A and B are shown apart, each in its own frame.
Chain A
């Protein structure tokens, strides 16, 4: 008996609609995040992450409404990230039914925000999202830094030190995305994942670069990740969540089937 490693499909949502296309032929509205989340719930996903990329202020009300609908129909944990900048943003999402919120750039611009958020709501619902990129040159010891603005803006902050600091400030979980690998389908940055996971006491979700099932298993076995997050391999029907779990189990990983 052991804690299962988690598989987490991630939905990018803009103004209440799933973007980057989800291709399930048999659901009524593949653009509706609630329909998509329900499908993943039925397939046995362990959690769902909802990344809100809505730019407009008015669109945020749509997001809250979508989270409410999702929480009424999906009875697995739901994390909402994107645009979380104030205590009030967290309160709204948790009241709407989110179990956890992901804090990304607001943590970089104001690290004390993470402390305040964890004090107010408890570490269990505060996920700090870290976007990291390798900055060491070939031959040098490996080093990664935090980047913001979708990987365009360097901050000079060391990723491993940052993860430790965020954990000390009350992050209950780290969502780690390799900006070098995101969208490449070449697999997670396993060395980065391992470095962060071994440096912190809280669970780490590996993200960025999944192209096949072997990548998911490697994230756990070599990256020491506690959970693996993927979007396109599931959305485009290349692999289903049950297939992913079956494969991980064959590789000796404890999963919830």
Chain B
């Protein structure tokens, strides 16, 4: 029997070593392929779509390589797909970053800037980027299996997802406002935090993704 494969889409934006290492760590039985080959992505059993850096550069590369269409096809095929950080933001309709950038539009919603006058409930100024370990309040979804409610995950971002349909918000986080820390739609799941950098809870989420059949 062939090993299950998982494709981590490489579009030249930053380091994919950590996410690939973390996936191999939690699921040594599957083959993790870091790839920019659309055929490899199409043949994989599941897909991870990461991203770091500025959205304009990310979207430019995604479009140049035709990965927006590739992702639409992968999601339509019903296989489990996981977007991470800017990978999640790129799945929404539009981002405010870099003066406004159209994104892939697989998830209805906008990406907005946190600052510059972000304050907590007591009126204290909050730093941007939102950097560090914050709590995620999650709803029922297979990807949260075995993860305690309000567990902390590692975030680093200055822009956040504002979902159009609140039913698609799989987890929320508070930082000056409540925002979508994770979103879901059928076989697609997206996280603003970095599971590959979130120690036990993050590794559990990746393990759940590898075991997930793509049904909410």
Chain A positions near chain B (C-beta within 8 angstroms): 1-6, 41, 46, 68, 71-73, 75-77, 94-99, 119, 121-125, 172-173, 201-204, 226-227, 256
Contacts and interface: CB of A to CB of B under 8 A. Distances in A.
Interface string B118-157: 0010000011111111110100000000000010101011
B134 A75 contact: no
A225 B53 CA distance: 25
A130 to B, nearest CB: 16
B103 to A, nearest CB: 16
A77 B116 contact: no
A189 to B, nearest CB: 20
A6 B132 CA distance: 7
B132 A2 contact: no
A12 to B, nearest CB: 23
Given A68-B17, A76-B199, A124-B156, A3 B134 contact: yes
Contact of B152 (A4, A41, A94, A227): A4
Contacts of B129: 123-124, 172-173, 202-203
What bracket does the count of chain B residues touching chain A fall in? 35 or more
B18 interface: yes
A71 B21 contact: yes
Contacts of A71: 17-18, 21
Q: Which 10 A-B pairs have the closest CB atoms?
A: A122-B53, A97-B17, A256-B133, A72-B21, A4-B133, A1-B135, A94-B15, A256-B152, A203-B127, A124-B156
Contacts of B203: 75
B154 A3 contact: no
State the main secondary structure of chain B at its contact with A: mixed
A5 B126 CA distance: 12
A96 B158 CA distance: 24
Given A75-B22, A226-B132, A2 B199 contact: no
A188 B158 CA distance: 28
A95 B16 CA distance: 8
A204 B129 CA distance: 11
Contacts of A77: 154, 156, 194, 197
B214 to A, nearest CB: 25
Nearest to B151: A256
Contacts of B54: 119, 122
B30 to A, nearest CB: 16
Nearest to B172: A1
B171 interface: no
Contacts of A124: 52-53, 129, 131, 156-158
Contact of A75 (B127, B128, B174, B197): B197
Interface string B175-216: 100000000000000000010111100110000000000000
26 contacts: A3-B132, A3-B134, A4-B133, A5-B132, A46-B132, A46-B133, A71-B17, A75-B199, A94-B15, A97-B18, A97-B21, A99-B18, A119-B54, A121-B52, A123-B158, A124-B52, A124-B53, A124-B156, A124-B157, A125-B52, A172-B131, A173-B129, A201-B115, A202-B127, A203-B129, A226-B131
